[in-house]
Amino acid sequence: MTVKSEKNGYVYLIGAGPGDPGLITLKGRECIARAEVILYDYLAHKELLSFARPDAELIYAGKVGGAHNREQWQINEMLVEKAQQGKVVARLKGGDPFIFGRGGEECEALVEAGIPFEIVPGVTAAVGAAAYAGIPLTHRDFTTSVTFVTGHESSGKEVSGINWPQLSLGNGTLVFYMGMKNLAQITANLIVHGRPSQTPVALVRWGTRPEQDVLTGTLADIAGKAHQVGFKAPAVIIVGDVVRLRDKLRWFDARPLFGKRILVTRATDQAGVFSHLLEGYGAQVLECPTIVVTPPESFAALDEALHALNDYDWLIFTSVNGVKYFFERLFELGFDSRALGSCRVAAVGSKTSEALANHGIRPDLLPSGFHAEGLVEKFAEQGVAGQKALYPKADRARDVLPRGLAALGMEVVVPVAYRTAIPDSLSAEALEALEERRVDCVTFTSSSTVSNLATLLGENRLIHLLRGVAVASIGPVTSATCRELGLRVDLEPEKSTIEALTDAIVTQYSSH
């Protein structure tokens, strides 16, 4: 990569892939991260912009209301202008820049202006959409050739540049880009020039995305089928006998949660793991954080306890956040894990235990249940009268644990290690999906996620918007809160973990 030239302005033309942000190349992601200016297209997934540096200038160069936001000449001029200002520019284009991406035109403009540039290839729509639809573009039992064709030629052409007689002969696979508006003409031209009318055809809309839609037929009937169901762009048209393999090889849209929209209400910094698990089974996840986790208003009480760790017999953690904020503060005060000394550690939940393991600590006490009541029972078996415990907690944590341990004769100190607050508003995308009845399942991973959603929506509106939506609760305490608010709980796993909740959701929809 030419770092020296970047000082005087440099442009990267990056293929963003067909839709799935995971298909961006490592080099493409690296170039996005170093860019000072990013011009991105309609088909470039917005998640790719999360790789940009915080101060990067983001410029949308796609479509607004179906019309181009900027003409190609304007995009060319902007690339030149930004580079001449000494900026490192990333031009993020759907698919591959050099396959119907007009990347060649942009490069010509850069060459004429003397601007250095680099091409970062991407997965083109034909390859990505076909693979995710379970259609191999070549197969030795069907065909050994594939042709990419534009289905939307320049309006200035008086005569078509497509050689229909040549395309129509033989059995090679054809993939038409941007051809939905001309689907009837494309199929008619192929039939007229020799392709059998019963040749299989597949239309793949939003290929590689969770909302991918595939319609199959033949040259004779696909246009009519598409019109009947209102099949719209953006889509690629795949023509050839290889389409017959889709029924056998389809995998992406055969996953158990494909087509299901699932609302995840966890805090933003914790939603990722859960979302990725659900997406791995094909779900379209709508993240709608109902909790904001922040440091406490004052660290005074926690600091006092941290400076006196030797006075405690037990250190108790009931959440990953408790571990996170406890150790962050411990390190800020100049201590490390050795400061725990002979203090024994108790934890609730496997995730909490894993978070402790990251600090080299194995819990001395870990109940089989995933709630505070189970820990109280474990302590009762131990006999803890006269002992002292430190329980760094959330500001709104239940008092089950302190009360239960006090009843056993244990002294419990409970400094606030972190706060949980209600966000100012809900995700606009998630709220719109709820109002339009486009959510299949809502997940709750704590009582706070339920009660906070009720606060943000209002209890009556909560019940109204979740009518007909499956409610998945992580455990009995959360389920009790759901029922108190008038919700019916449809799913509750035996273990209160994200993995178990995911498995329960998959089982529910697989059985249907």
Active site residues: 41, 63, 178
Cis check for the bond before 234: say yes or no (omega within 30 of 0): yes
Closest CA to 240 of 139, 333, 323: 139
Query: CA dist 360 to 217, 327, 340, 355, 471, Å?
Result: 59, 12, 12, 9, 37
Provide the strand spans (E) within 110-177.
Answer: 117-120, 146-150, 173-177
Written as one letter, the residue type at 167 is L
75-87 burial code (b ≥16 CB/10 A, e <16): bbebbbebbeeeb
| Secondary structure letter of residue 244 according to DSSP | G
What backbone torsions phi and psi does residue 146 show, to the nearest 5 degrees?
-140, 140
User: For every residue of 170-208, which 3-state class applies, written as one string?
Assistant: CCCEEEEECCHHHHHHHHHHHHHCCCCCCCEEEEEECCC
Q: Are 60 and 69 in contact (CB under 8 A)?
A: yes
Annotate 416-434 with DSSP letters as a single string.
EEEEEE--SS--HHHHHHH
